[in-house]
């Protein structure tokens, strides 16, 4: 759980598109702070600073102590917009956080131990169903990520949220089912191997059935020939005294 970050802002007296454009020309990004049963406040933040925060990652799950004209307010970013051409921030919204506030956040999922997954070792592919998961949690206990362990997963196995150890106080928004986070899917080569093996087994079974119907043994299981049928004639044997067989030379 990360500590709150510091961020400075100034209040804006004027709202509207014209005032927002003026802020951007001055190198600042207009924004709004709302929530906690208080009126929404128009603010602006330094464009370079807020851009650095956004591109550092996990911006929408980071709690800030936002200093507005010298007064600090604990907030969490709820949305931001980027210029579609220049990819720079043009607006940002913050939600105020009261003490003990429970908020909804999208937390990224990190996958570990891919080398310990038999399915991946056999050529399967990790199919990520959810790169982030929505949770309800205390504002002071927002996890930077959750860790999903792939150890032991075979091809066609699925990893569900129930298999992930969550920090205390962190609960999935979806509570009515054990939803899937990732699956191990077979590769095309693996499917081809299975299809070839199935085809061979089918052909072997058909051949065995045909052989049984014809009354012949399956291939490779021939019967030894009977005596005198195709066997070479035995050589004449000598008697115990070494006498030559009949028909030999006479003295």
Q: What is the pLDDT of residues 57-100, one digit of tens each?
A: 999 999 999 999 889 999 999 999 999 999 999 999 999 999 88
Q: What gap in Å lies between CA 45 and CA 114, rounded to an integer? A: 42
Residue 76: the pLDDT is 96
More confident residue, 112 or 240: 112
128-165 pLDDT per residue, tens = 999 999 999 999 889 989 999 999 999 999 999 999 99
Q: What gap in Å lies between CA 33 and CA 77, rounded to an integer? A: 9
Query: Nearest CA to 173 among 127, 101, 107, 99?
Result: 107
Mean pLDDT over residues 99-123, rounded? 93
Looking at the whole model, is its pTM more than 0.85?
A: no
């Amino acid at each position: 759980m990360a500590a709150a970050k510091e961020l400075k802002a100034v209040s804006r007296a004027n709202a509207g598109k014209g005032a927002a454009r003026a802020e951007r020309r001055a190198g600042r990004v207009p924004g709004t702070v709302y929530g906690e049963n208080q009126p929404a406040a128009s603010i602006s933040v330094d464009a370079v600073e807020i851009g650095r925060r956004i591109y550092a990652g996990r911006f929408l799950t980071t709690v800030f102590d936002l200093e507005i004209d010298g007064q600090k307010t604990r907030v969490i970013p709820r949305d931001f917009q980027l210029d579609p051409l220049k990819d720079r921030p043009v607006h940002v919204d913050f939600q105020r956080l009261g003490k003990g506030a429970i908020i909804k956040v999208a937390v990224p999922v990190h996958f570990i131990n891919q080398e310990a997954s038999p399915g991946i070792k056999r050529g399967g592919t990790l199919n990520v169903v959810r790169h982030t998961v929505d949770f309800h949690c205390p504002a002071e206990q927002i996890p930077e990520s959750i860790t999903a362990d792939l150890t032991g997963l075979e091809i066609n196995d699925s990893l569900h949220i129930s298999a992930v150890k969550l920090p205390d106080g962190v609960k999935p928004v979806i509570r009515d089912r054990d939803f899937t986070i990732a699956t191990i899917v077979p590769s095309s080569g693996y499917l081809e191997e299975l299809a070839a093996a199935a085809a061979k087994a089918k052909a072997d079974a058909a051949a065995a059935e045909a052989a049984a119907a014809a009354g012949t043994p399956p291939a490779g299981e021939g019967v030894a020939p009977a005596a005198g049928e195709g066997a070479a004639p035995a050589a004449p044997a000598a008697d115990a005294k070494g006498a030559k067989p009949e028909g030999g030379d006479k003295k």
